[in-house]
Amino acid sequence: MTETTRASWGSKLGVMLAAAGSAVGLGNLWRFPFCTAQNGGGSFLVIYLLCSFTIGLTLVFAEAALGMKVKSDPTDAFGWIHPKLKFIGGLCVFTSMIILPYYSLVGGWILAYVVKIFSMSSATDFGTAFSDFAASPVEPLIFFYVYLVGSAVVVYFGIQNGIEKFSKIMMPILFILLLVLTGRVLMLDRAWEGVKFFFRPDFSKLTGETLMNAMGQVFFSVSVGMGIYITYGSYVKDDTVTVSQLMRPVIVLDVLVSLLAGLMIFPAVFSFNVPVNAGPSLIFITLPQIFVSIPFGRFFGFLFFVILLGAAATSSISLFEVAVTFMCDQMKMTRQKAVVGFSAVCLFVGTFVSLSFGKLSGFKIGGKILFDQFDFLASNILLPLGGLLTCIAVGWILKSGRLIVFKNGIMQKGFEICIKWIAPVFIVLILLKGLELI
């Protein structure tokens, strides 16, 4: 794909919503609430906001600026800095390829619950129901295949006719449904206890662990380290806007969704005396139990899982596009062949990942089933490593002035200081924590 024939976004709004969609995902609606609960509520929120608008913003800007400058996939983007750095781009592409199969499996679970919520009752054993579903050899695979093929279809139709159109429809719907569901939850008894927990900082609970977890949440939430913003940035027209103007709304929308998720979930768990730090089981066990216990709860539960599905889909599509762009740029494949080929690989790999909850549950490496291995490799090693190498390449190897993010000289200097000194320190700590070395 040459620069003269390269596709491009049709509008500023399109690229902003697509990039925001890549950031808004299960990290906001699932991981953020239980991380906040486990780290003291409001005090964690304050640190999370500070980290989002400093380090998170810096990493998003760096990746997007590379893509807008080079107009190619992540390998060429890092190769522009130095030919020997192409491997960093390759690592980013590999990370997206590792994440998509198991992320799509979770997307399939969510799709299943869009349907299942109507058949659940207060007498349902929600923990057993979810375990039985995940361990089934057939049912979760059907929903996984439907979810993945749906994502592939959007990418198949390209940047403007596929990803941009889907994002322009899905992102507004997601926000509207979030507001509707949040409004309903705030009407529950004791709902404001949850609001106070979420927004009232208790700095006596502020520790180094809180700071680390907040930075980790920002890092995973904004979707850096896997080449998404490089890829999306490569389709931006030269005369559109500056990097900062285009990507600043991405962080704002990402944070806004996290705040709405907190306002939706904490009032619900306080109203029903559910443990506030219920953890990863929250969305498939705890919240469905709450929804079926309130008037018209199945309908609102349906809305909740539709919101999750939309957020997961926009993230999956961005992961898909990283691999497809790489195959088009480096392997000279047509978009259609790249989508079909990569889909086949994901379906094959994802099948074994799904079966690791059932028939292949006995196959473990280091005591972890295949699903957990994929998650550990991506979340604890590949993502932080990709982010760290990006900081080193842009902050230390790239000559100053070659990557302009801000027209304002002071802000540009602040960006360079953050990418060179501040962000790498935190990412190293995240990497060491993920490897359980600290």
- The whole-number average pLDDT for the span 170-196 is 92
Residue 16 is assigned to a structural domain of this protein: yes
Residue 153 is assigned to a structural domain of this protein: no
Interval 25-59: pLDDT, tens: 888 888 888 888 888 788 899 999 999 999 999 99
Residue 410 is assigned to a structural domain of this protein: yes
**Which of the two residues, 241 and 292, has the higher pLDDT score?**
292
Residue whose pair of structure tokens reads 């997206």 in the numeric block = 96
**Residue 3 in this model has a pLDDT that exceeds 60:** no
Interval 414-431: pLDDT, tens: 999 999 999 999 999 989
Residue whose pair of structure tokens reads 């522009």 in the numeric block = 80
Residue 313 is assigned to a structural domain of this protein: no
pLDDT band at 2 (very low <50, low <70, confident <90, very high): very low
Structurally, the chain folds into a number of domains equal to 1
0.75 cut: is pTM over it? yes
Residue 409 is assigned to a structural domain of this protein: yes
Among the ranges given (269-273, 349-353, 373-377, 378-382), the one the predictor scored with the smallest mean pLDDT: 269-273
Question: What is the Cα–Cα distance from 272 to 433, expressed in whole angstroms?
Answer: 34
pLDDT band at 240 (very low <50, low <70, confident <90, very high): low
Short-list 35, 19, 424, 343, CA closest to 211 = 35
**Residue 299 in this model has a pLDDT that exceeds 80:** yes
**Residue 279 in this model has a pLDDT that exceeds 70:** no
Q: What does the mean pLDDT of the chain come to? A: 91
User: What 3-state class would DSSP assign to 414?
Assistant: helix
What's the confidence (pLDDT) of residue 285? 86
Question: What is the Cα–Cα distance from 216 to 81, expressed in whole angstroms?
Answer: 27
What share of the chain in percent tops pLDDT 90?
68
**Residue 259 in this model has a pLDDT that exceeds 90:** yes
Domain encompassing residue 222 = 12-94+158-301+364-434
Residue 4 is assigned to a structural domain of this protein: no
Residue 78 is assigned to a structural domain of this protein: yes
pLDDT band at 98 (very low <50, low <70, confident <90, very high): very high
What's the confidence (pLDDT) of residue 4? 47
Short-list 130, 143, 133, CA closest to 351 = 143
- The whole-number average pLDDT for the span 164-192 is 93
- The whole-number average pLDDT for the span 171-183 is 93
Residue 105 is assigned to a structural domain of this protein: no
Residue whose pair of structure tokens reads 């993920």 in the numeric block = 434
**Token pair belonging to 130:** 């979810």
